């Protein structure tokens, strides 16, 4: 029996997930998941590895479809959208991939300019100014001519972030945005996420494990485990809630409702030590 919390209905939610059930390779990833992403807020999705956080982002963008339930973005069910409507929606969503996913044939400038060149007919001088502005925001204006192979992991992530925000989208999905960032870059990226949210009212969804960073930037946190929301609230409240889920997750304990070990047979037997044998 999983002790879960009921998602608080948010009437002004940009993304509304209701009864989402997803089974992948026989494993239940989401079990009637209910979740709201409030408009104009920074929402963090947290949870143990393999719990389906990235899969949830793929559901929101229509890259994956659930076996049951609905994912509504601005009131429209993503799974039922025709391709053209889905692409129109995606033009208004920025997505930061876990592995950056920069186009390796293009340099940094062209990577950031790519969405602008594909979807607009802006004059070259305007494209240049927009791209340089975004690169300046992530501290990489000077790296505009470098190729992706010349970037460190953290730099590639910041370029991918610049690309994700180049259209000033209504919704930005960040998949592990803080991995590989040094403290300076991490602080700047946190400020950038907060600034985008406060100045442009962009709704942000963060998938991350770094609690300290989440505390600084997120308005709402969802903790997902075993296919359900097991805790939700603002970062401070959720960290101090004292529930077995939050205590184990934020305390980093091996023992608790989330098993540290992947399901396996008897350890002693696997090592060749059978009970009763000296």
Q: Which residues bind another protein (CB under 8 A)?
A: 61, 63, 87-88, 90-91, 93, 95, 97-99, 101-104, 114-115, 118-119, 163
163 within 8 A of 85, measured Cβ to Cβ = no
Neighbouring C-alpha atoms within 13 Å toward the C-beta of 229: 24
Nearer to another protein, 148 or 235 (CB): 148
107 within 8 A of 146, measured Cβ to Cβ = yes
What is the residue whose two structure tokens read 């920074």? 42
Nearer to another protein, 61 or 247 (CB): 61
Nearer to another protein, 115 or 244 (CB): 115
Give me the least distance between CB of 54 and another protein, in Å please: 11
Nearer to another protein, 114 or 250 (CB): 114
Please state, as a whole number, how many other Cβ atoms lie within 10 Å of the Cβ of residue 182: 10
Give me the least distance between CB of 51 and another protein, in Å please: 20
Give me the least distance between CB of 131 and another protein, in Å please: 14
Give me the least distance between CB of 94 and another protein, in Å please: 9
Give me the least distance between CB of 84 and another protein, in Å please: 10
Give me the least distance between CB of 64 and another protein, in Å please: 11
Nearer to another protein, 27 or 119 (CB): 119
Nearer to another protein, 157 or 228 (CB): 157
Give me the least distance between CB of 180 and another protein, in Å please: 16
Give the DSSP letter string of the chain.
-----PPPP-TTEEEEEEEEEEEETTEEEEEEEEEEEETTSEEEEE-STTSSHHHHHHHHTTSS--SEEEEEETTEEGGG--HHHHHHHHTTEEEE-TT----TTS-HHHHHHHHHHHH----HHHHHHHHHHHHHHTT-GGGTT--GGGS-HHHHHHHHHHHHTTT--SEEEEESTTTT--HHHHHHHHHHHHHHHHHH--EEEEE---HHHHHHH-SEEEEEETTEEEEEE-HHHHHTS--HHHHHHHHT-SSSSS-SSPS-S-HHHHTT--TT--
Nearer to another protein, 87 or 273 (CB): 87
């Amino acid at each position: 029996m999983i002790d879960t919390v009921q998602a608080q209905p948010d009437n002004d939610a940009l993304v509304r997930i209701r009864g989402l059930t997803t089974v992948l390779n026989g494993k239940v990833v989401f079990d009637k998941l209910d979740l709201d992403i409030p408009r104009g807020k920074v929402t963090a999705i947290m949870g143990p590895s393999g719990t389906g956080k990235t899969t949830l982002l793929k559901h929101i963008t229509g890259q994956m479809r659930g076996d049951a339930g609905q994912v509504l973005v601005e009131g429209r069910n993503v799974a039922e959208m025709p391709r053209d409507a889905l692409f129109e929606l995606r033009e208004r969503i920025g997505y930061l991939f876990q592995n950056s996913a920069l186009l390796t044939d293009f340099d940094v400038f062209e990577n950031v300019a790519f969405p602008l060149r594909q979807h607009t007919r802006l004059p070259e001088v305007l494209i240049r100014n927009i791209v340089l502005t975004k690169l300046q925001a992530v501290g990489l204006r000077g790296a505009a001519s470098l190729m992706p192979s010349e970037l460190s992991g953290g730099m590639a992530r910041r370029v991918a972030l610049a690309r994700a925000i180049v259209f000033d989208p209504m919704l930005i999905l960040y998949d592990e945005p803080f991995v590989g960032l040094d403290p300076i870059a991490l602080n700047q990226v946190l400020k950038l996420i907060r600034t985008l949210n406060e100045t442009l009212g962009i709704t942000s969804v963060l998938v991350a494990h770094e609690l300290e960073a989440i505390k600084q930037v997120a308005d709402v946190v969802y903790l997902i485990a075993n296919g359900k929301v097991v805790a939700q609230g603002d970062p401070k409240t959720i960290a101090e809630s004292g529930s077995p889920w939050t205590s184990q997750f934020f305390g980093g304990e091996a023992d608790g409702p989330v098993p540290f070990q992947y399901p396996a047979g008897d350890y002693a037997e696997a090592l060749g030590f059978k009970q009763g044998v000296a």
